[in-house]
Amino acid sequence: MADFFAMGGYAWYVWMAYGVAALAIAVEIAAVRVRRKRAFDELRMSVDAPPAHAAMTRKGAAR
Amino acid sequence: MSATKPPPLVQALAPQPALAEGNAGTHASVLAAIGWALARDFRVAMRSKGELGVQLLFYVIVVSLFPLATSPSRETLATLGPGVLWTSALLASLLSLPRLFASDYHDGTLEQIALSPRPLAGLVSGKMAAHWLTSGLPVALMAPLLGAQYALDAPVLATLAVSLLLGTPILSLVGAVGAALTLGARGGGTLLALLVLPLYAPVLIFGAGAVDAVRAGVSAAPHLSLLGAGLLVALVGVPFAVAAAVRIALD
Amino acid sequence: MLINWFRFASPISFYPIAGSWSYAFGALAALFAGAGLVIALWIAPTDATQGDAYRIIFIHVPTAWMAMFIYLVMAGWSALALGFNTRLSAMMAQALAPTGALMAALALWTGAFWGRPTWGTYWAWDARMTSTLILLFLYLGVIALRAALEDPRRADRACAVLALVGAVNVPIIYFSVQWWNTLHQGSSINLTAAPKMAMTMLAGILVMTAAAWSYTIAVVLARVQAIIVERERGAGWLESLLQFPVRGSA
């Protein structure tokens, strides 16, 4: 396991590359989800639809 | 009350009898459009010679700053010279681009120009030509004088002048697209720089490369022919993109 | 088999498709990425010359390709937007730009970390990296122009023109940088020389590229959903979404 993380001595380079890539992708996914949610919240507010109504019909309120 | 004579601008842009018969796309009308716009913009630019002088002075000052930041030794200067002289020309071009459309846009003249039956691509070509005559050409002529500050010798300076003479029109053309797209946008000049500088990169590469080649004792013919080819392509294609960008800005 | 493609040019019809496809491609991306990472970090053998540092190419190469492809796709949608004056085409172009910029930035970052152990420097002005840098600037320009123009329809058309002008320039930029590079760079550094490809290495790169494509499609479709909701506010059909949300909304 330690060998895996050591990456033959190149640990800094390999993990900086993979790590930042993973981080960037996670941030992009989160940002798009936040943007979509915010767009919907603003739509909801502009229409004055009660949030509970949407929760009733949504497949999985947890999303 | 007697009707006042319409201002010269409106008169010039009003449909001419020949055009009204549907000849709007002929050779003659395109050349007429170019000629008219060129003459008008040149006259307008000449009215504020001070502004033109300031832009040229900017070029001189920036070029003179670089040796202060590095060393004034002849080798360093000769190495830096072509790059500095060319990059500063790019920056000077950026500074002068807003005046291509901005004042016409703000006082409504640009709208009149776009509404006229003359081909808009021709009209903007004339504007870009006048712009080059009052910004790019002076820089191209000034550069060899400044090049002497950089310990560059005669053949190198001549190549510098030729490369700038070929390259600065491309800068005016490509820059005009950016100027039209950013009309009235927030962030104005800096946004224009962000949009246009990446597009300038090939011109910089071939232009400065030509001068460097001659400095190294090699022929600059490939660089200069590529610049020339680029100029021809830009002359033919870019006015249509600029016309489209102007129409987008005016809608 | 004549499909009326223009039917999908309406945000109303496209929205639910965007949602379900986004999830489908997201799942695909996770699958490909899982397989790809297993190959990249375990199965592929350590390289004789570059050691384990070469494993970075499994991220570097796909992101560099995506940066280029996404720009072309964005230019394609921009051409459609200008040619047919469809809002949705412009929205797709708008949705593609941020992901393209991210891919370009990742390509540059991973390239730097691959370059340092292999050739001793984080940044060498080689042709591909320099072109990718300029490509990143082009992306940022489109994004900045979109942000600077208030009228969305004007922004659509202006960004479309800019994207197309950039697309015409990309080959010119690449060629000129290549030229410049061969004149100045000795052949000592050749950053385009990946280690000789064992089959596993090639397979790994292809799988990671498939992952990158699927990921891009998933994220861009999700983003375009957000853009549709943001821009179509006031259109009645959106309100029905609140009552009967389709898969992938909120």
In a domain, A14, yes or no: no
pTM of the prediction? 0.87
Digits of tens for pLDDT over chain C (250 positions)?
Answer: 456 666 677 888 888 889 999 999 999 999 999 999 999 998 888 887 888 888 999 999 999 999 999 999 999 999 999 999 999 999 999 999 999 999 999 999 999 999 999 888 899 888 888 999 999 999 999 999 999 999 999 999 999 999 999 999 989 988 888 888 777 654 444 555 555 667 888 899 999 999 999 999 999 999 999 999 999 877 777 777 766 665 555 4
Question: Number of C-alpha atoms within 13 angstroms, CB side, residue B228?
Answer: 8
Judging contacts by C-beta atoms under 8 Å, the chain A residues touching residue C98 are: 28
Judging contacts by C-beta atoms under 8 Å, the chain C residues touching residue B199 are: 165-166, 169
Q: How many CB atoms lie within 10 A of CB C42?
A: 10
What's the mean per-residue pLDDT of chain B? 89
Residues C75, B237, B87: CA angle, nearest 5 degrees: 85
In a domain, B30, yes or no: yes
For B31, the token pair is: 């050349």
* Cβ–Cβ below 8 Å for C157 and B209: no
In a domain, A3, yes or no: no
Alpha-carbon distance values, B192 to B186, C117, C206 (Å): 10, 38, 39
* Cβ–Cβ below 8 Å for A10 and C117: yes
In a domain, A25, yes or no: yes
Rounded distance between C-alpha atoms, residue C229 and residue C226, angstroms: 5
Touch between chain C and chain A: 3 or more Cβ pairs under 8 Å: yes
Q: Does B181 touch chain C (CB under 8 A)?
A: yes
Contact C164, C133 (CB under 8 A): no
* Cβ–Cβ below 8 Å for C113 and A16: yes
Which one of C85, C134, C161, C177 would you mutate to disrupt binding with B, by most B Cβ within 10 Å of its Cβ?
A: C161
* Sequence ranges of the domains in chain C: 19-44+52-228
What are the residues whose beta carbons fall under 8 Å from the beta carbon of C86, sequence distance 6 or more?
A: C6, C9, C80
* Cβ–Cβ below 8 Å for B198 and C144: no
pLDDT at C174: 87
Rounded distance between C-alpha atoms, residue B55 and residue B76, angstroms: 27
As for how many domains chain A has, the answer is 1
Q: For chain C, what is the largest distance between any 2 Cα atoms, rounded to a whole number of angstroms?
A: 65
Q: Is pLDDT above 50 for B1?
A: no
pLDDT at C139: 97
Rounded distance between C-alpha atoms, residue C145 and residue B182, angstroms: 7
* Cβ–Cβ below 8 Å for B201 and C148: no
Judging contacts by C-beta atoms under 8 Å, the chain C residues touching residue B221 are: none
ipTM of the complex: 0.86
Surface-to-core class of residue B40, CB atoms within 10 Å of its CB (0-12 exposed, 13-18 middle, 19+ buried)? buried
Rounded distance between C-alpha atoms, residue C150 and residue C144, angstroms: 12
Question: Smallest CA–CA separation between A17 and chain C, in Å?
Answer: 5
Q: How confident is the model at residue A58 (pLDDT cuts 50, 70, 90)?
A: low
Q: Which of B199, B201, B209 sits opposite C183 (nearest CB)?
A: B209
Touch between chain A and chain B: 3 or more Cβ pairs under 8 Å: no
Question: Smallest CA–CA separation between A13 and chain C, in Å?
Answer: 5
Q: How many CB atoms lie within 10 A of CB C113?
A: 24
In a domain, B17, yes or no: no
In a domain, A6, yes or no: no
Q: How many CB atoms lie within 10 A of CB C76?
A: 17
pLDDT at B21: 46
Question: Smallest CA–CA separation between C23 and chain B, in Å?
Answer: 35
Determine the 3-state secondary structure of C51 from DSSP. strand
Q: Is pLDDT above 80 for B120?
A: yes
First to last CA, chain B: 35
Determine the 3-state secondary structure of B97 from DSSP. coil
pLDDT at B179: 96
* pLDDT tens sequence across B141-179: 999 999 988 989 999 999 999 999 999 999 999 999 999
Question: Smallest CA–CA separation between C48 and chain B, in Å?
Answer: 37
Q: Kindly identify which residue of chain B lies nearest to residue C150, measuring between CA atoms.
A: B185
Which one of A14, A33, A45 would you mutate to disrupt binding with C, by most C Cβ within 10 Å of its Cβ?
A: A14
In a domain, A2, yes or no: no
In a domain, B242, yes or no: yes
In a domain, B174, yes or no: yes
* pLDDT tens sequence across B15-50: 555 444 444 556 778 999 999 999 999 999 999 889
Of B191, B174, B173, nearest to B183 by C-alpha is B191
Domain span at residue B213? 25-250
Give me the mean pLDDT over the A35-45 stretch.
89
Q: Which of C51, C226, C242 sits opposite A36 (nearest CB)?
A: C226
Alpha-carbon distance values, A35 to A38, C229, C234 (Å): 5, 10, 18
As for how many domains chain B has, the answer is 1
In a domain, A34, yes or no: yes
In a domain, B3, yes or no: no
Question: Smallest CA–CA separation between C4 and chain A, in Å?
Answer: 29
Contact C63, C212 (CB under 8 A): yes
Tell me chain A's radius of gyration from C-alpha atoms. 20
Altogether, the residues listed in chain B come to a count of: 251
Domain span at residue A27? 19-63
pLDDT at C188: 42
In a domain, A45, yes or no: yes
pLDDT at C179: 82
pLDDT at C177: 86
